[in-house]
């Protein structure tokens, strides 16, 4: 019960920070995110000799929604720890009732809920403006692809947050990885046009594997995509990144404690 209360309070805090205290920053970030989508979409649409069909439009919208989670998942945990170090909160959290990895994971859950508001707002605007002919059933089925995809990218985020404990600042590296995944995950550039090595790298992340499954679901309208080896592989990749992220964090955290550099900045 104590943890549930802590989780609820964390969700309230994240919502208050994003939508009340720093609402102008949130709005600006939201506008930039949409402009990136609109700019890339219109650029690709302009390069084609034909209008984009329903399948392509839907894939772009849903793929970009997935990438928004990826951007947040990779960057948020590391940024949160960096902020805690700078503000002196980190040391106090280590003296609290919960282990720090529990606190971090709770903050991640709150961030996913907060990010979902932004993601589905962007998605709604995209669907209303482009009006692709896609069934509600397909959209609802895609949720079961979004779930492991989101889990995997936040696993990467936990790993990157561990690197903050050791190297302090890695924000630019996370940004580079996030934007690279936008262009190598089959969202705007089809996998068939990417070199084989890039395809392999992309599918080692849940975003690449998730986008391919979304594409199969949209094109073939197959419910049995959830019984396929590719869907099982998506879950395997997601679980791998979660465990790898947590284990990496615990190892680096232990090392930082021994060196006395855990809360130093």
Average of per-residue pLDDT across 29-53? 79
| DSSP tag of 18 | I
Average of per-residue pLDDT across 138-166? 91
Residue 193 confidence (pLDDT) above 90: no
Instruction: Output b/e per residue, 166-191; b: 16+ Cβ within 10 A.
Output: eeeebeeebeebbeebbebbbbbeeb
- What pLDDT is recorded for position 65? 94
- 3-class SS of residue 136: helix
Q: How many Å apart are CA 183 and CA 122, to the nearest integer?
A: 19
Q: Which residue has the higher pLDDT, 61 or 19?
A: 61
Average of per-residue pLDDT across 160-169? 82
Residue 182, CA distances (Å) to 5, 37, 67 in order: 36, 10, 6
- Burial, 239: exposed, middle or buried (Cβ in 10 Å; 0-12, 13-18, 19+)? middle
In a domain, 99, yes or no: yes
**Segments of the chain assigned E as strands:** none
Q: How many Å apart are CA 141 and CA 77, to the nearest integer?
A: 28
Instruction: Please report which helix (H) or strand (E) contains residue 175, including its range.
Output: helix 171-184
Please answer whether residues 130 and 57 qualify as being in contact, where contact means their C-beta atoms are separated by less than 8 angstroms.
yes
In a domain, 264, yes or no: no
> Any idea which residue has 């590391």 for tokens?
78
* pLDDT grade for 156, boundaries at 50, 70 and 90: very high
In a domain, 128, yes or no: yes
> Any idea which residue has 């284990």 for tokens?
247
- What pLDDT is recorded for position 152? 96
In a domain, 169, yes or no: yes
Q: What percent of the chain has pLDDT over 90?
A: 40
In a domain, 265, yes or no: no
57 HSE (CA, 13 A, CB side): 17
> Any idea which residue has 């482009």 for tokens?
130
Q: How many Å apart are CA 54 and CA 58, to the nearest integer?
A: 6
Range of the domain at 207: 2-259
Q: How many Å apart are CA 250 and CA 101, to the nearest integer?
A: 8
Cα radius of gyration (the chain): 19
In a domain, 116, yes or no: yes
- pTM of the entire predicted model: 0.90
Residues in the chain: 265
In a domain, 30, yes or no: yes
* pLDDT grade for 263, boundaries at 50, 70 and 90: low
Q: Which residue has the higher pLDDT, 134 or 12?
A: 12
Residue 120 confidence (pLDDT) above 90: yes
Q: What percent of the chain has pLDDT over 70?
A: 93
Across the chain, mean pLDDT equals 86
Tally the domains of the chain.
Answer: 1
In a domain, 180, yes or no: yes
User: Tokens at residue 225, please?
Assistant: 């995509």
Taking alpha carbons only, the member of 265, 203, 264 closest to residue 234 is 203
Query: Of the given ranges (1-15, 46-60, 147-161), which has the lowest mean pLDDT?
Result: 46-60
Residue 154 confidence (pLDDT) above 90: yes
Residue 199, CA distances (Å) to 92, 105, 152, 207, 233 in order: 44, 30, 17, 12, 15
CA 209 to chain centre: 14
């Amino acid at each position: 019960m104590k943890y549930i209360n802590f989780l609820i309070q964390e969700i309230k805090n994240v919502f208050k920070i994003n939508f009340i205290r720093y609402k102008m920053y949130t709005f600006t970030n939201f506008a930039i995110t949409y402009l990136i989508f609109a700019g890339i979409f219109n650029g690709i649409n302009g390069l084609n000799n034909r209008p984009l069909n329903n399948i392509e439009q839907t894939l772009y919208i849903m793929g970009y929604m997935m990438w928004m989670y990826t951007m947040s998942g990779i960057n948020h945990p590391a940024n949160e720890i960096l902020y805690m170090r700078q503000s002196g909160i980190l040391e106090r959290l280590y003296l609290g009732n919960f282990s720090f990895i529990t606190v971090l994971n709770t903050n991640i859950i709150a961030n996913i809920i907060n990010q979902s508001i932004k993601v589905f707002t962007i998605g709604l605007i995209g669907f209303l403006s482009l009006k692709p002919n896609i069934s509600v059933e397909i959209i609802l089925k895609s949720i079961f692809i979004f779930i492991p995809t989101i889990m995997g990218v936040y696993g990467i985020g936990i790993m990157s947050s561990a690197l903050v404990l050791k190297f302090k600042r890695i924000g630019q590296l996370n940004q580079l990885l996030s934007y690279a995944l936008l262009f190598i995950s089959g969202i705007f550039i089809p996998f068939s046009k990417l070199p084989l090595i890039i395809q392999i790298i992309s599918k080692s992340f849940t975003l690449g594997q998730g986008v391919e499954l979304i594409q199969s679901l949209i094109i073939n309208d197959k419910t049995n995509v959830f019984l396929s080896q590719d869907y099982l592989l998506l879950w395997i990749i997601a679980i791998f990144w979660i465990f790898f992220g947590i284990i990496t964090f615990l190892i680096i955290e232990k090392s930082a404690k021994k060196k006395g550099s855990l809360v130093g900045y």
